[in-house]
Amino acid sequence: MKGMVNTVAKLYFKYGAMGSSKSAQALITKFNYEEKGMKVWLIKPSIDTREDLEVVSSRIGLKAKCTPIFPDTSIWEAFESQISRKIDVIIADESQFFTAEQIDDMRKIVDELSVPVLCFGLRTDFRTNFFEGSKRLFEVADKLTEIKNICECGRKAIVNARIDDNGNVITEGEQVLIGGEERYTAMCHNCWRKAIASQE
């Protein structure tokens, strides 16, 4: 089987806030393809050193081995090393951490090799700005799908609030923090804004 029946290969970005079960959905999608006898190449940016580089895992306990992609890795060239496996689909987790060049590599794989690519990841950082990978995906993906998550108040959560040890929302700092001492909470924009205002 090559690609998806009766459809042109597409670049997908399935995005959501923290805790919206993106990794679980990536792994379930992988399972569904494999159940149909299709070969999946599961990849993940290697920027997150807190976790095992070669495993995609979800909070509900699903996990699978993946190929780590380093910031200077050409995904186009890395894909060539997989050619003997006759890959039918690429599934990427934590796609916000890819570089724009790496997203363009995946765009090229879709266009030139007709292999669909499904990217899962965050839309924005703790200050509501795009990550490099998510920005490029919004620019060039064929299909954008939101994976919804709910704020404590019941509204849709769209902000990945970074919370300090005292429970305060942090609005300054590096976009990506290695180490994991900071915690994140998915909030609606209104609760996020009010939380910041109440701290001033």
Show which residues are catalytic. Answer: 94
Chosen residue from 8, 55, 153, 178 binding Zn ion by CB under 5 A = 153
Chosen residue from 103, 118, 137, 151 binding Zn ion by CB under 5 A = 151
Strand ranges across the sheet with 159-163: 169-170, 159-163, 183-187
Q: CA 79 → CA 37, 131, 143, 153, 159, distances in Å?
A: 20, 23, 22, 43, 33
Q: Which is nearer to Zn ion, 43 or 191 (CB)?
A: 191
> Residue 162 CB, nearest distance to Zn ion (Å)?
16
For position 148 contacting Zn ion by CB under 5 A, the verdict is: no
Task: Quote the CA–CA distance of 2 and 23 in Å, as a whole number.
Answer: 25
Chosen residue from 155, 167, 183, 193 binding Zn ion by CB under 5 A = 155
Residues in 46-85 that interact with Zn ion by CB under 5 A: none
Q: CA 99 → CA 47, 70, 105, distances in Å?
A: 11, 10, 10
Per-residue contact string for residues 177-196; x = within reach of Zn ion by CB under 5 A: -----------x--x-----
Closest CA to 125 of 167, 101, 157, 96: 96
Q: How many residues bind Zn ion (CB under 5 A)?
A: 5
> Residue 154 CB, nearest distance to Zn ion (Å)?
7
Which residues make up the interface to Zn ion (CB under 5 A)?
151, 153, 155, 188, 191
